[in-house]
């Protein structure tokens, strides 16, 4: 037993379990309305902007596995692997700040390159008239 | 006080401090000879393969900042931001497994897309005769 609180980790894991179980609406309940998310493509302000970023990703995830999860009272870090429709083995890492049971800040890191490559391949495979 | 050991975190932070201080040879002393590194471009086996991957990156880092660091006896997770010569704001995350004071496994996540874009821009800016 330790006296260390893991309140932020508990919230981060609840959020993670929800979206990896394809229940993105449940996942959204763990986010602060004014969440700031620093994503690879830039900074997102607010829960609806976050939904527009993360919601479509959740829909293409076919499986996921938690690699590591640590945290304390205010901060948690998760690393996980995902398989997605366009890209297999697409890991991500998140550093989450939590206040009053809600995620107020998220820094998320993943490699956009294979997604970009898959998109380019999909476009080049289209018949000419729909390019 | 807690009884939780942070041996892996201690080693991970010593490794991190060394390479962010541009002392990559010192950083290498924290790696197991048979380290396995899962990097965005694929799996690397052994310390020399790791040196070939991480050494050139260290040389282009102009500043760095630790975002989060957690760990226990065997596992640590670090998230950090770096500025590099070709790309500003290039964060990374590492999950490290440590045994006997040496890093035996590292999963590292970063976004290759801006580095790829910078490389393409550099190539297209070359005079025609050197392309």
Q: Give tens-digit pLDDT for B18-33.
A: 999 999 999 999 999 9
Q: Contact B91/A107, CB-based, under 8 Å?
A: yes
Rounded to whole angstroms, the Cα distance separating A15 from A6 reads 14
Task: Kindly state the tokens that stand for B78.
Answer: 């670090």
Give bridge partners of residue B9 from the DSSP assignment.
none
The yes-or-no verdict on residue B131 having pLDDT over 60 is: no
Rounded to whole angstroms, the Cα distance separating A30 from A23 reads 12
Q: Contact A109/B109, CB-based, under 8 Å?
A: yes
Task: Kindly state the tokens that stand for B87.
Answer: 């790309």
Task: Kindly state the tokens that stand for A124.
Answer: 């080049």
Q: What are phi and psi of A54, to 5 degrees?
A: -85, -30
> Does the pTM exceed 0.90?
yes
Q: How many inter-chain contacts (A to B, CB under 8 Å) are there? A: 69
Question: Predicted confidence band at A86 (pLDDT cuts at 50, 70, 90)?
Answer: very high
CA dihedral angle for residue B107, residue A62, residue A47, residue A114, rounded to 10 degrees: 50
Query: A70: which chain B residues are within 8 Å (Cβ-Cβ)?
Result: 70-72, 77
Q: Give tens-digit pLDDT for B69-108.
A: 999 999 999 999 999 999 999 999 999 999 999 999 999 9
């Amino acid at each position: 037993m330790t006296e260390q609180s893991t309140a932020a980790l508990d919230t981060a894991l609840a959020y993670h379990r929800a979206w990896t179980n394809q229940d993105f609406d449940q996942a959204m309940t763990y986010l602060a309305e004014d969440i700031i998310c620093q994503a690879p493509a830039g900074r997102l302000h607010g829960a609806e902007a976050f939904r527009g970023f993360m919601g479509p990703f959740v829909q293409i995830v076919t499986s996921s596995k938690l690699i590591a999860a640590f945290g304390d009272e205010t901060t948690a870090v998760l690393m996980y692997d995902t398989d997605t429709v366009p890209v297999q083995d697409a890991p991500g890492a998140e550093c989450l700040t939590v206040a009053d049971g809600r995620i107020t800040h998220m820094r998320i890191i993943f490699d956009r390159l294979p997604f970009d490559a898959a998109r380019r391949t999909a476009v080049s495979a289209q018949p000419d008239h729909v390019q």
